[in-house]
Structure 1
Amino acid sequence: MVCCTLPMVFLLPSWVQAGTKQVSSGAYTPPAYEALPLGAVKPMGWLRNQLRIMRNGSSGHLDEVYAKVKNDNGWLGGQGDGWEETPYWLDGALPLAYLLDDKPLQEKVLKYVNWTLEHQRPSGYFGPVTKAEREKNATIDPAHATEGEDWWPKMVMLKVLQQYYSATADQRVIRFMTNYFRYQLNALEVAPIGKWTEWAASRGPDNVLMAQWLYGITHDASLLQLAERIEQQSFPWTTWMGNRDWVISTATYDDKYLWMRRHGVNVGMGLKAPAVTYQRTGNKQLLKDQYTGWQDLMTIHGLPMGIFSADEDLNGNEPIQGVELCAIVEAMYSLENIIAITGDVRYMDALEKMTFNALPTQTTDDYNNKQYFQVANQVQISRGIFSFSLPFDRQMNNVLGARSGYTCCLANMHQGWTKFASQLWYAAPDNGLAALSYAPSQVTAKVGKDSTAVTITETTQYPFGDQISFSIALKKETAFPLQLRIPSWCDEAEVLINGKTLRKDKGGQLISISRSWKNKDQLVLRLPMRITTTVWGKNSRAVERGPLVYALKLHERWEKGHEEHEGDYFSVYPEEPWNYGLLHKDIKDPAAGMKVSVQKPVDDHFIWNLAHAPIEITVQAKQIPAWQAIEGVAYQPAVDREGIYKGRVDEKVKEITLVPYGCTKVRIVAFPVVP
């Protein structure tokens, strides 16, 4: 593995050194790829600008503008928020601080980290002061675990601490987590994982993941015992993902019973369970179960932008369905861990599609407002009940606001871009590096048998452009393998070194280039992108090119409103017709009937909006007069088995423009097909 740029020596507490049984590997399977220390990957170009926007917006200032986090915070010793929202925010704000090397933001988030580390109870329990401690001066230890409080928010804070350790190698984290997991192993007999809430029982894989991460460092066998116990007490996602009964039931029932197993955010977190269990057990059947579950989920509930419906429950694959922002960022986190554990390129493709399409559309340009639910075919953003599985009385689920819908997404949305940016590169076997997702960035690590420092600068307009350039900086010639992902959508990639073609490779695989690299070597990866069409719910069709999905370009009218309980918000309406169907001949041969044009370069000031959309696709279409919104919902027209609409269609053919889905707010992405 690549030698990390930070020291990884750790000190175990005396109780571990004194006699806890150690194991070296057993059935435990190390991850296929090791994450690099936080800060080893530096975002550049448009991605760095995205993170700066977040830093200047709510990601960097939530504690100043959001009363629940701001006032008397429980994670700083107060009596305010002591549950999930503060750890949610830190789960994105902390990596943001280190990705941007932003000292003021680091100081801000470290107040919470240090308070947490410094106020661990002697037993190992941690978190805000509990009601029992405050009112009864209770002591929380394994025998009195019921005097503690919910396991769930601690799972999120463990993720925060893991990232802090990755950035700093602060040995306090190892001692802290070792003591906490010792406490938890015994306390679960008194206070099972679902003692306080079903949220903890449904989200156990996040707890398991952290215990197994620590095992990878300390090799303390009790951590695997703890991981197994948590899994036994949690929702059986590993079983559900493989046996198909679960995903069938999610498409059958939509009542109040067993809704937690259909809840989209829970599903996003549970998604990684088979891979996490495989890591602990080495059972390769679980890798098959992992893919079965993912494929079934996306077949029954998948939407064109690469995410499953989750508004709030899983809600089928019709393009009128929505998805909660929390579900997107949690599914991304699950995919990132599945990728590291399995090294399976299919999840890398899935992660990029989700990131570059579903994620950017759901927040405003300044990253201060978000949609609780976005809709695939979203012909207006407004108050209403739409076709969501959980419509709220105040009808604020769809609007763009800081506090619209539940505020969990306001706190949780920050982890999406930050974790994606930090995991563009991984340490690879044989002292190499792997570029598994692509975006402008720079990575510094140690490679080769002599642990030579290398810096690789990745320059690209990807995902809009098809060329990725890598510049190698070394003090001496060094042999190491460099792995590159060839996406499944790419028919044939070309690799050039110093201007000369080295190889050509088919899509859907990882390639390894092992050579002695010299300072100033230049590697170029070309990933030709062609236009394709894909089939979605109600036999609708989406236009795709490379990792991006394209949606109808509609000029937008924004209106500001105010709701007494949820504050200011924005509605967005189209200023032109949207009810178009694509011509059948162009669906059959999109390369002949659809034209790609580059509108503007993707520079360091790029923002995901219409004004900055760098690529457009023009295509012929006809309007469908009867296709009209009903209470803001563009119910899909009925089509025949070939997907062709049989109702009246305007005879006049019009040229329409498509832009990347992530640049839109109102749009059609899943089109009917007309003769």
Structure 2
Amino acid sequence: MSPTSRLLRAVSCIALVWSASGQNITSLAPKKYLSIPLGGIRPTGWLLDQLMVQTNGLAGHEHEFYDYVSQTDWTGGNSYYSSLEEAGSYWFNAMVPNGILANNSAINAKTQNFLSYVLSRQDSTGWLGPEVGTTKPRYLWGRYPFMFGAIQMTEFNSSLTNEVVTALYKFVSLANTMLKSNNTGVEDWTATRWEDFVITLQWLYDNHPNGTASQALLVDTMERLKWTGVPWEKVFAKQYFPTAAVENTPNPFNLDLTWHGVNMAEGLKALPATYRFTHNQSDLDTASQGWDLLFQYHGRPSGIYAADEYLAGLQAARGTELCLVVETMFSGSYLYQIIGDPKFPDRVERIAYNALPATLTGDMWNRQYLQEQNQIYAGNMSKNPFPLDGPYSNVFGLEPNYPCCTVNHPQGWPKFITNAFVTTPDMLSLVHLYLGPFSTSVTLAQGNAVTANVDTLYPFSDTVTTTITAQAAFTYYVRIPSWVVGGTIAINNAAPKAVAPVNGLQAVTVGAGTTTFVLQLPAPITTESRPEGAIAVHRGPLNYAFDIPRKQKVLETNAQQPLAQDLEFDATSNWEYAIDPSTLKFSASPPSSGILPSPIFDSGLTPLKITVTACLINWAIAGPTFAAPPPTNPACTGPATTITLTPYGATKLRISEFPVFNSTA
């Protein structure tokens, strides 16, 4: 019996109980907040520059040379279309918003051609993908990222609506039939990632329901996907949740992929999506609990969690996959839209400003498969701390270990941007969720045309200035992060008043015409307890690390694109420091021009730093390539000195979980 068959047998009793309850739900529960269609939110300032760095880097050029997505005729081989099982689908999902937000005509032409090619070759059964006209098995999952990309294109360009919606309904009808026929099309990956198809079905239901029969088809397909897939309500339950690295722990679901890091990241969306058609509050409660458990037992100071293929516990040398980073960001945005808890955007913002840039070179031509919280070397490891991933995993390159992150990582910044604002379900209010430099234009209820321009260097500054123009009065909301202490707001040049957020949101009364307000969002330095008595250092959304000086070695250069190289980084100075947390001091050097250096997430370029008293200690290495766990209560081997910590996202070799000592003892 296959792992999937065992899993389906394990969950079949759940499905029978649910069916026996007599529920026949054909309506969807509303969201707490509504997303804004692609193009309605634009990056400005340093964030626009960051998107342009990505566009000018690997993400914006890989379709020109990278085997998985480089062929332009899509007739075979490793073309976009024949890779719709994963590579092309991932690429399309990421580059649709990247190209549109960057106003890149070449990328937009590629994504339009991709869409046209795929839809024009949909077969008579409704199937989308390279299996058309072949005897190759048809599995559902590979099409899901493609659907996300097609939806985004349709939101931006309404002339595509009929073509895309018609094609999706044809596919849904086929998928429903396949699920009725002994769950045809469900293999292990489909069994874990069913929630992405459910979200597509719900988009159709919300925006293009096509009558009662179609609504019933959509909901029935949602239900069938859930009951033929991983029971995420059990995976995220306390009694089953793993509290340490899982490589030696039997999986109770007979499908190891339930604890696979990227599947967990995508699976975070499952129960909020389920709630919309079950209307069960327990789905939301378990989703929220699962989020907390994930970060409690596997979380990182950089905001993300560890999974070097599978959940990896708390040790600082264990890895986090880049695909996992961007999928968790997207899931956190979705969780907020369904549940409305500010812990989700707080976490997503930390990930975006720490874990995402840390695993890419500043110019974004090179990416890792796995990043480490304490990373003293990036190269081909002679010994590595990752039980199931190869020794090349933390190389900064084109395709270290697996190719998935090369094509999937570009969704991170664009989707962070497109989820930075939401509206209330009644369309009466606009909510600014992720802090940073943005502009947005939206028409609220009663035709109230609103624009908001956010001028800020945040997270490299505590000041956020927002100018809103509206045709009619309304209430604007802006998120106040949980780490802010002593924040103030000054509206239309009035005296500053203390912020008073409710459920994380500060209400601002906006009149017809123009309203400007200035937020001051100071935050104290805080420390986080880590294993072995170590600590991590934070201020605001940023995690701080010691940026280990390094030298660079080119391991390989792509024959078609010389900028696509595999790079080894070697430390050129000591890194074995303990710190005295009582001596932490923050300072900022804002640029006189008001413009941050580019690319901002690179060594020595951010305007923020924290100094701390430190001393060298005996700190072992585990083989020549990674640090052992931080020693507890270490003794200094040299005099006290001062070292500088900088934002984690700008470091490529680093120590960010430090042993501690008392410099006055």
Q: TM-score, normalised by structure 2?
A: 0.88
1:162 aligns with 2:159: no
1:323 aligns with 2:320: yes
Residue pairs, 1:8-19, within 5 angstroms: none
2:107 aligned residue (101, 105, 109):
105
Aligned twin of 2:618: 625
1:391 aligns with 2:386: no
Q: Which residue type is aligned with residue 472 of structure 1?
A: I
Equivalent position SS for 1:662: helix
Aligned twin of 2:179: 188
Larger deviation: 184-193 or 397-406? 184-193
Aligned twin of 1:259: 256
Aligned twin of 1:221: 216
Aligned twin of 1:615: 608
Q: Is the 8 A contact 1:73 1:81 kept in 2?
A: no
1:411 aligned residue (398, 407, 422):
407
Equivalent position SS for 1:242: coil
Residue pairs, 1:540-551, within 5 angstroms: 540-551=534-545
Taking the aligned partners of 2:369 and 2:250, their CA distance within structure 1 comes to 21
Q: 1:564 offset after TM fit, Å? A: 11
Q: Which residue type is aligned with residue 609 of structure 1?
A: D
Q: Is the 8 A contact 2:440 2:452 kept in 1?
A: yes
Change (3 A) 1:237 1:657: same
Q: Is the 8 A contact 2:53 2:599 kept in 1?
A: no
Aligned twin of 2:498: 504
Question: Which ranges in structure 2 are unaligned for 5 or more consecutive residues?
Answer: 1-22, 210-214
Larger deviation: 423-432 or 202-211? 423-432
Equivalent position SS for 2:351: helix
Q: 1:565 offset after TM fit, Å? A: 12
Aligned twin of 1:594: 585
Q: Is the 8 A contact 1:89 1:412 kept in 2?
A: yes
Q: 1:365 offset after TM fit, Å? A: 2.5
1:569 aligned residue (553, 566, 571):
566
Q: Is the 8 A contact 1:491 1:506 kept in 2?
A: no
Larger deviation: 240-249 or 481-490? 240-249
Aligned twin of 1:556: 550
Identical amino acids, percent of aligned pairs: 29
Q: 1:502 offset after TM fit, Å? A: 6.5
Change (3 A) 1:239 1:533: same
Change (3 A) 1:157 1:52: same
Q: Which residue type is aligned with residue 233 of structure 1?
A: T
1:238 aligns with 2:233: yes
Q: Is the 8 A contact 1:36 1:426 kept in 2?
A: yes
Taking the aligned partners of 2:558 and 2:650, their CA distance within structure 1 comes to 30
Taking the aligned partners of 2:220 and 2:429, their CA distance within structure 1 comes to 32
Taking the aligned partners of 1:377 and 1:631, their CA distance within structure 2 comes to 14
Q: 1:633 offset after TM fit, Å? A: 1.3
Q: 1:389 offset after TM fit, Å? A: 2.4
Taking the aligned partners of 1:336 and 1:78, their CA distance within structure 2 comes to 28
Larger deviation: 186-195 or 216-225? 186-195
Q: Is the 8 A contact 1:298 1:307 kept in 2?
A: yes
Q: Is the 8 A contact 2:178 2:185 kept in 1?
A: no
Taking the aligned partners of 2:281 and 2:75, their CA distance within structure 1 comes to 42
Taking the aligned partners of 2:512 and 2:375, their CA distance within structure 1 comes to 50
Q: 1:507 offset after TM fit, Å? A: 6.3
Aligned twin of 1:589: none
Aligned twin of 1:463: 459
Equivalent position SS for 2:504: strand
Q: 1:398 offset after TM fit, Å? A: 1.0
Q: 1:242 offset after TM fit, Å? A: 2.8
1:272 aligns with 2:272: no
Q: 1:514 offset after TM fit, Å? A: 5.4
Q: 1:607 offset after TM fit, Å? A: 2.5
Q: Which residue type is aligned with residue 272 of structure 1?
A: K
Change (3 A) 1:416 1:191: farther
Aligned twin of 2:355: 358
Taking the aligned partners of 2:90 and 2:540, their CA distance within structure 1 comes to 32
Aligned twin of 2:4: none
Q: Is the 8 A contact 1:485 1:510 kept in 2?
A: yes
Change (3 A) 1:654 1:506: farther
Taking the aligned partners of 1:620 and 1:193, their CA distance within structure 2 comes to 62
Q: Deviations over 1:221-266 (max 9, x none)?
A: 2211111110111111132213441334864735797431221111
Q: Deviations over 1:514-556 (max 9, x none)?
A: 5342433211122112111111233320110000000013222
Taking the aligned partners of 1:228 and 1:537, their CA distance within structure 2 comes to 42
Change (3 A) 1:636 1:424: same
Taking the aligned partners of 2:599 and 2:624, their CA distance within structure 1 comes to 34
Residue pairs, 1:23-422, within 5 angstroms: 28-71=28-71, 73=74, 80-130=82-132, 133-134=133-134, 149-169=138-158, 170-171=160-161, 172-190=163-181, 192=183, 195=186, 197-219=187-209, 220-248=215-243, 251=246, 253=248, 258-384=255-381, 385-392=383-390, 395-422=391-418
Q: TM-score, normalised by structure 1?
A: 0.87
Change (3 A) 1:55 1:259: same
Q: 1:466 offset after TM fit, Å? A: 1.0
Equivalent position SS for 1:323: strand
Equivalent position SS for 2:499: strand
Taking the aligned partners of 1:252 and 1:148, their CA distance within structure 2 comes to 30
Change (3 A) 1:24 1:313: closer
Q: Is the 8 A contact 2:332 2:344 kept in 1?
A: yes
Q: Deviations over 1:137-173 (max 9, x none)?
A: xxxxxxxxxx652211111111111111121122222
Taking the aligned partners of 1:82 and 1:294, their CA distance within structure 2 comes to 30
Change (3 A) 1:597 1:510: closer
Q: Which residue type is aligned with residue 388 of structure 2?
A: L
Aligned twin of 1:141: none
Q: Which residue type is aligned with residue 281 of structure 1?
A: T
Equivalent position SS for 1:552: strand
Q: Which residue type is aligned with residue 44 of structure 1?
A: T
Change (3 A) 1:194 1:181: closer
Equivalences, count: 622
Question: Which ranges in structure 1 are unaligned for 5 or more consecutive residues?
Answer: 1-22, 136-146, 587-592, 640-644
Q: 1:282 offset after TM fit, Å? A: 2.1
Aligned twin of 1:11: none
Taking the aligned partners of 1:490 and 1:79, their CA distance within structure 2 comes to 47
Larger deviation: 605-614 or 566-575? 566-575
Equivalent position SS for 1:515: strand
Two-structure CA RMSD over aligned residues (Å): 2.6
Q: Is the 8 A contact 1:369 1:400 kept in 2?
A: yes
Q: Which residue type is aligned with residue 652 of structure 2?
A: K
Aligned twin of 1:534: 528
Taking the aligned partners of 2:306 and 2:244, their CA distance within structure 1 comes to 15
Q: Deviations over 1:432-464 (max 9, x none)?
A: 1110111111001113x4312221111111112
Change (3 A) 1:185 1:664: same
Equivalent position SS for 1:621: strand
Equivalent position SS for 2:615: strand
Change (3 A) 1:446 1:659: same
Q: 1:594 offset after TM fit, Å? A: 2.1
